[in-house]
């Protein structure tokens, strides 16, 4: 199998004189906007070969500069950073894909590209990177970290997002191996170790499979893929190198706890009908902290027409189980499914937040887009389904976006499909921006988390206000604590669950649950403290203290936290003790909950 290797092609030493002069000019400039940087780049051309790329300037800085501190290096990188929005949420997101594998669902709207995990298309950027790396978790992780670092992004704190079909349907040995290899890649990268040559060489010939046509019922995604995998790997559908024992993962987790590149969040995606009590415990043992859950609709008739394979009852159960275990819930919801109308979609979206059984922490709002491999092609050709026109879709999006509460983050609106893949549906790639602009023009203010986060803007720490919002959940009460500016810009928040209904996991049966602590602003290297940045300003510690006070006032004997592998050390410094699946802090002053085994 041929893997893409990130072999450096640029040698800073060959351009040392020009790079040193350019770096000195950039460093000395009191301020530097995009035009100013462009002028400097043009003033120091690359030895007759055009202009230096920003990544090449960064490579030169790392080769020749000797910054006095991490803060000094961070300031230089901030001036050159490409696409800074990627790390303005406080962590560096890193997306990897599992390899193609059969899916338990038969949804007619789902893309069925046999080169990819179910529901993904080969033209999507993350999918392209995964395929280039043979879907190998180590290669995907290491090479993505290398790409981030080459363009000036810090890679100390990583939110690992594992996408691809239904995670829970993969065999457990594959799940354990996949997460362990991602952890090993992060720890290796943070230590300056490049072990990519030792990555597995399992065959990956997915492009050899004949494409699935959504109009042909005789040959479906699962049939085509299963036949291919059985031919390569036998009935188990796994190569021997793609399996690991739990002890391997535990060792990888322990090593990553204080690694130079550590996992501060682990996200997987699954279906509501795959969330059992046993699955919840397995997810926690893997180190998962957030679950992307494909709810898609809260209308049983719409789900049935789409052949989703589960109903609203299964979604209720899944959300309840995940919330009880402390997971952040990142729901997927789709507009324009078969049987829906703009009016019914608006009502359905409102139920996500009106019904205490749901109320997700984050949300992806996906209007249905038709692609060639989806079975929905047949319905479309028979005239049984058609997409909303852009005017109708914009109205749905505007109402839904405006109705999203302040404690929910609307992470994405519309799938990132290439225009040539879309047979029917909107081709307006920036539909979210269009909707936001129309809302602003009407004087409406969006209040969801993403719309209010501070990003890289300066703020006055002394003017921050701790705001508290409480709302009911299926288990009891949720407390959303947030530090905001006088203009209601969000700089940090935490999610505290105060359950009143029984919790089935013995370790947290009597606990309040700290489900998330997040500080916004540019992600910084560990230990760096530049100026007015939100990161490392002590806001996370203050949020935990506020949550502790409220949990104690509510009568809970202890506060548990669903910590990620890379945040365990930080919570220990705050007095939390390790349990089997969670960390615990006593609120009673005694020993209970301090040393949970």
| The pLDDT value given to residue 525 | 56
Give the residue numbers spanning the domain of 505.
453-586
- Give me the mean pLDDT over the 333-341 stretch: 98
Q: What is the pLDDT of residues 501-538, one digit of tens each?
A: 889 999 999 999 999 999 986 544 555 554 444 454 69
Min mean pLDDT across 52-56, 105-109, 371-375 is at 52-56
- Look-up: residue for tokens 């916004």? 520
pLDDT value for 170: 94
Are residues 244 and 308 both part of a single domain?
Answer: no
Same domain? 569 vs 532:
yes
Same domain for 298 and 441, yes or no, is yes
Q: Are 291 and 226 in contact (CB under 8 A)?
A: no
Average pLDDT over residues 567-585: 98
Predicted confidence (pLDDT) per residue in 449-485, tens digit:
999 999 878 888 899 999 999 999 999 999 999 999 9
**Is there a single domain that holds both residue 489 and residue 546?**
yes
What is the residue-averaged pLDDT of the chain? 88
Do both 253 and 287 map to the same domain?
A: no
pLDDT band of residue 89 (cuts 50, 70, 90) is low
d(CA 296, CA 99): 23
CA separation for the pair 309, 200 (Å, rounded): 35
Query: Residue 324 is encoded by which pair of tokens?
Result: 């009880």
Q: Is residue 473 part of a domain?
A: yes
Residues 6+ apart with CB under 8 A from 73: 61, 65, 67, 525, 528
* More confident site: 131 or 56: 131
The gap from C-alpha 403 to its chain's centroid, in whole angstroms, comes to: 23
Secondary structure of 401-414 in HEC code, one letter for each residue: HHHCCCCCEEEEEC
Question: In the structure encoding, which two tokens stand for residue 529, read together?
Answer: 């403290």
**Those residues with Cβ within 8 angstroms of residue 375's Cβ, 6 or more apart along the chain or in another chain:** 106, 108, 109, 110, 112, 214, 217, 220, 307
pLDDT at 90: 66
Domain boundary (451, 472, 499) is at: 451
Q: What is the DSSP letter of 238?
A: -
pTM (predicted TM-score)? 0.86
Note whether residue 409 is domain-resident.
yes
Nearest Cα to 367, choosing from 412, 404, 418? 412
- Angstrom distance (rounded) from CA 8 to CA 545: 46
Helix (H, G, I), strand (E, B) or coil at 269: strand
Indicate whether 445 belongs to any domain: yes
One domain, residues 116 and 24: no
Instruction: Examine the domain organization and report whether 422 and 278 are in the same domain.
Output: yes
Question: Is residue 303 located within the same domain as residue 319?
Answer: yes
* Region of poorest pLDDT, from 199-203, 241-245, 252-256, 309-313: 199-203
Q: How far apart are the first and last CA of the chain?
A: 44
Instruction: Give the CATH number of the domain where residue 530 resides.
Output: 3.40.630.30
Q: Is residue 174 part of a domain?
A: yes
Residues 419 and 526 in one domain: no
User: How far is 358 from 344, CA to CA, in rounded Å?
Assistant: 18
Residue 187 falls inside a structural domain = yes
CATH number for the domain spanning 319: value is 3.30.750.200
In a domain, 595, yes or no: no
- Judge whether 593 lies within some domain: no
Residue 470 CB-half CA count within 13 A: 9
Same domain membership, residue 35 and residue 104:
no
Do 131 and 78 fall within a single domain?
Answer: no
> What is the count of structural domains for the chain?
4
**Residue 460 falls inside a structural domain:** yes
Identify the band that residue 68 occupies on the pLDDT scale cut at 50, 70 and 90: low
- pLDDT of the residue at 264: 97
Q: 141 and 259 in one domain?
A: yes
């Amino acid at each position: 199998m041929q893997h893409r290797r990130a072999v450096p092609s640029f040698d800073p030493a060959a351009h040392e004189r020009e790079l040193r002069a350019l770096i000195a000019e950039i460093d000395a400039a009191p301020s530097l906007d995009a035009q100013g940087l462009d002028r400097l780049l043009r003033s120091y051309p690359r030895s007759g070969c055009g202009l230096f790329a920003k990544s090449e300037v960064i490579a030169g800085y790392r080769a020749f500069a000797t910054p006095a501190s991490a803060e000094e290096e961070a300031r230089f990188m901030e001036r050159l950073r490409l696409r800074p929005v990627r790390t303005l949420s406080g962590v560096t997101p890193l997306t990897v894909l599992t390899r193609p594998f059969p899916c338990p669902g038969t949804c007619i709207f789902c893309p069925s590209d046999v080169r990819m995990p179910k529901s993904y298309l080969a033209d999507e950027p993350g999918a392209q990177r995964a395929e280039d790396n043979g879907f190998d978790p180590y290669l995907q992780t290491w090479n993505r970290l290398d790409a981030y670092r080459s363009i000036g992004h810090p890679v100390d704190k990583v939110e690992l997002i594992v996408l691809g079909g239904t995670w829970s349907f993969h065999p457990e040995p594959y799940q354990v191996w996949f997460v362990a290899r991602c952890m090993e890649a992060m720890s290796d990268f943070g230590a300056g170790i490049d072990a990519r040559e030792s990555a597995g060489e399992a065959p990956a010939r997915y492009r050899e499979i004949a494409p699935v046509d959504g109009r042909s019922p005789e040959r479906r995604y699962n049939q085509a893929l299963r036949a291919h995998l059985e031919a390569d790997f036998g009935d188990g559908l796994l190569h021997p190198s793609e399996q690991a024992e739990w002890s391997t993962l535990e060792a990888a987790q322990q090593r990553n706890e204080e690694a130079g590149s550590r996992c501060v969040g682990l996200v997987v995606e699954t279906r509501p009908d795959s969330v059992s009590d046993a699955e919840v415990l397995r997810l926690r043992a893997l180190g998962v902290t957030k679950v992307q859950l494909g709810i898609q609709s809260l209308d049983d008739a719409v789900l049935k027409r789409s052949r989703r394979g589960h109903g609203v009852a299964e979604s209720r159960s899944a959300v309840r189980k995940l919330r009880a275990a402390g997971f952040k819930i990142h729901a997927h919801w789709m507009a324009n499914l078969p049987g829906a109308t703009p009016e019914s979609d608006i009502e359905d979206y409102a139920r996500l937040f009106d019904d205490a059984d749901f109320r997700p922490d984050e949300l992806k709002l996906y209007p249905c887009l038709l692609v060639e491999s989806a079975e929905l092609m047949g319905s479309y050709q028979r005239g049984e389904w058609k997409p909303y026109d852009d005017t109708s879709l914009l109205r749905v999006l505007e109402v839904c976006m405006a109705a999203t509460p302040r404690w929910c983050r609307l992470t994405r609106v519309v799938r990132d499909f290439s225009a040539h893949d879309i047979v029917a549906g909107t081709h307006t790639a920036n539909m979210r921006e269009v909707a936001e602009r129309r809302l602003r023009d009407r004087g409406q203010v969006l209040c969801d988390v993403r719309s209010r986060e501070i990003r890289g803007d300066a703020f006055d720490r002394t003017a921050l206000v701790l705001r508290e919002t409480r709302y009911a959940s299926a288990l009891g009460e949720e407390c959303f604590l947030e530090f905001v500016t006088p203009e209601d810009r969000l700089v940090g928040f935490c999610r505290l669950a105060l359950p009143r209904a029984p919790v089935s996991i013995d370790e947290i049966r009597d606990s309040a649950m700290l489900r998330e602590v997040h500080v916004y602003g540019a992600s910084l290297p560990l230990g760096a403290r530049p100026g007015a940045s939100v990161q490392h300003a002590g806001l996370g510690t203050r949020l935990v203290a506020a949550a502790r006070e409220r949990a104690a006032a509510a009568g809970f004997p202890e506060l548990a936290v669903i910590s990620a592998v890379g945040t365990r050390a930080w919570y220990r410094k705050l007095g939390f003790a390790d349990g089997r699946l969670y960390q615990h802090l006593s609120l009673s002053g005694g020993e209970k909950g301090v040393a949970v085994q």
